[in-house]
Amino acid sequence: MENSATHVDPRTGMDVESFKQDIHQHLYYTLAKDKYSSTEWDIYRSVVMSVMDRLHDRWIDTQQRYYRQDVKRVYYLSMEYLIGRLLDNMLINLGMQDEAIQAFEEMGLDYEKIREVEVDAGLGNGGLGRLAACYLDSMATLGIPSIGYGIRYDYGIFDQEIEDGWQVEKADLWLQYGYPWNMVRPKVEYPVHFYGETVSHMGDDGELHFEWKNTHDVLAVAYDTPIPGYKNDIVNHLRLWKATASHEFDLKSFNQGDYIDAVRDNMLEENISRVLYPNDKVFKGQELRLKQEYFLVSASVQDAIRRFKKQHDDFRKLPEKVAFQCNDTHPNLAVPELMRILMDIEGLNWDTSWNITTQCINYTNHTLMPEALEKWPISLMQNLLPRHTQIIHEINRRFMDEIRAEFPDDEDRVSRMRIVGEEMDPVVEMGPLGIVAANKINGVSKIHSDLMKKTIFKDYAELYPDKFTNVTNGITPRRWLKQCNPGLSSLISEHIGDDWLTDLKQLKKVEQFADDEAFKNRFGEIKRENKKRLAGYIKRELDIDVNPDSIFDIQIKRIHEYKRQLMAALHVITLYNRIKDNPEADIQPRTVIFGGKAAPGYTTAKQHIKLINNIGRKVNNDPDVGDKLKCIFLPNYRVSLAEKMIPAADLSEQISTAGMEASGTGNMKFALNGALTIGTLDGANIEIRNQVGDENIFIFGLEVDDIERLRSEGYNPQEYYQENKELRKALDQIRDGFFSPEKPDLFQPVINNLLHHGDYFMVLADYEAYVKKQEEVEKVYRNKQDWYKRAIINVAHMGFFSSDRSISDYAERIWDIEPIK
């Protein structure tokens, strides 16, 4: 790379002129286009390739430095990554966003249009995948040597369209024209084995050895996307595996006219990376998902072992150089896979292999719901992964012996803690497998980690108290403030400098301006501009006018009963009825905005989407209501839409049933962008309250102990229905077809779940407290200066929720790894 005072390489120069030259050259020489024939996609690709040029030398330098220093590396295993759009993120972390914007202006290009050309890489269903993406950003920014491993799904999470109020799923075509941010590594490929059988023989060392034979093999091919740290010249990467056929095309069958047979096996093998998470209610779907999980861990563990062997031949040093982090139970097959490689390939004995494995593997739990912890039928696993099934049985046998030694004469405990069940159709419990083999197990918020040790993993925490720890989730301020809210980001930097971007605790300095009238006015102006921007988007997408001076009350997350979008919908009905009963009343205008996707097979959640849309149809077209109330459902929620919605929010809805949300990160993003939270004492809401103070958050509802007590005493939702007139009226309207006159009984299942099937998620029990707390919200909002003060205090106290802090916690307490300087 040549750099001198007289010459700057246009491929690496960080100045405006070099960047312009590079874009022109890629457009002309790489894409064979000129200003007459180029499309917006061509220009976008040229810009991406020009950014990649500036990343490549840093990427290569980083990897060479890791190799020279023989560093310990983190291998982050996740089935999901919601990385969203990357252009802004890359330019910000390279420190050249301003130069890029100037270059586009001088070239007559519209930066906004270029950004909008990029598709969201939606390789995840929700918070799990977005958390993984934030952690990659923080690992690079902190200089943690790491690689994120995932699957390069041909189709990510579905595109959501709303037809007649119903969710309709469409294929996500994110790879339709290629993905310019990644590079295929055709020589980085590994065979992944399935099926076959295991045979044993006695070795010369007198030990029993196993061989996995007659397998059906699939090739995992690597695709790498660079992940730059913020202005530190460090570039890690996300490595996604694509499944390809391990054998050549069957030309003989093709020549004989049997095209279907010739391509069938190839197609079946490539199906492994075809789509994100099939519906696992169907047995074949279960098998494909298990294949995906093993495909991810096998390729990734093989890759890590290859890298280790380039510099080492003593596997006892593996824990000094390798830390695997399993993001939820999905990658926990890394346990038997690492054992298999160490024993069957590298020739180590069981005890040595187990000692190494239990120092290398770590497991993050993300759920307290037992039904959400993966369990794989032994019959399925035995057929698909016979060698791993043997290893798991042996882990289970030795673990049972350990329990009996620790707790003699307690066979009930032994039965509760089994990794492999004893029932007629036994299953492998993937959570306990991860716990038994992991060096550390962490929850993702303080309450979640505490409940994990008291409820679902109580027995294991008693046996291994030192294994369990907490790392509260975090978010990257580079994307979730600087990138998505440039107005607020600039206001903060003008007053306290830029250091907060890599040390979010610096935001505490903003609190001194919470009573500063000029600062509060600027803060309010920025919020209103963000609301106007979102209002414009709503008008373009839905042709609905919303009032930017109303409370923007937003709930965006996966549609699920425990997240209780239904309770927010009941509140909209209540507000509507109040307006209808007294149209002249002094009502604080409110725009309630929902966004989120329901799992394709989750009928109840999809009915909630339909109900919200039908409520909106009624409310938004009632002349008595006008702009006092609007109910909006924005289709196809995704990262790039979140970046528009979060900066515009006044009120953040975090109203899950207490004890059911492990952490949440949307709550952090809203607060960081100056929204106040209305929420239950659940997940990270508790820690947000502890940071911002009781007076700066709207907490309501039953707590975990209250819910347990209510359930044990016999919760009767009918009592709440009878006692609260507004609640009864809202439910009767839903039941009687007020919101569905074309089919009056359309929402009867919603009513049945609430009134006749136990209201498991306690919507009716929390309704009155929720509505009263919303009245408090309106009262505070009327005093804008007081509202802005509280919002500024929220921003100032979000330092703890940086993903940089989370990754520092992992590095220090779990991975035992030092950042590279």
* Active site members: 366, 557-558, 563, 665, 669
How many CB atoms are located within 10 Å of the residue 814 CB?
21
- Among residues 295, 346, 344, which one has the least CA distance to residue 191? 295
The DSSP output letter for 405 is H
Residue 188 CA: distances (Å) to CA of 192, 309, 521: 13, 15, 55
- Separation between Cα atoms, residue 328 and residue 277, nearest integer Å: 14
- Separation between Cα atoms, residue 161 and residue 541, nearest integer Å: 11
Give the distance, in angstroms, between the CA of residue 52 and the centroid of all CA atoms in the same chain: 25
- Separation between Cα atoms, residue 79 and residue 123, nearest integer Å: 8
- Among residues 53, 67, 73, which one has the least CA distance to residue 9? 53
Give the distance, in angstroms, between the CA of residue 386 and the centroid of all CA atoms in the same chain: 32
- For residues 657 and 707, the answer to whether their CB atoms sit within 8 Å is yes
Residues 6+ apart with CB under 8 A from 785: 517, 520
> Sign of the CA dihedral 300, 301, 306, 308?
positive
- For residues 689 and 678, the answer to whether their CB atoms sit within 8 Å is no
Kind and range of the H or E element at 185?
Answer: strand 183-194
- Among residues 515, 528, 478, which one has the least CA distance to residue 796? 515
- Separation between Cα atoms, residue 179 and residue 176, nearest integer Å: 8
- Separation between Cα atoms, residue 616 and residue 594, nearest integer Å: 11
- Separation between Cα atoms, residue 319 and residue 322, nearest integer Å: 5
- Separation between Cα atoms, residue 728 and residue 580, nearest integer Å: 16
Which two three-digit tokens encode residue 11?
């491929």
- Among residues 637, 632, 666, which one has the least CA distance to residue 551? 632
- Separation between Cα atoms, residue 474 and residue 809, nearest integer Å: 11
How far apart are the two ends of the chain, measured CA to CA in Å? 22
Number of helices and strands in the chain (H, E): 33, 23
Which two three-digit tokens encode residue 116?
């909008």
Residues 6+ apart with CB under 8 A from 437: 332, 335, 357, 358, 361, 395
- Among residues 206, 172, 214, which one has the least CA distance to residue 82? 172
3-state secondary structure (DSSP) of residue 286: helix
- For residues 370 and 456, the answer to whether their CB atoms sit within 8 Å is yes
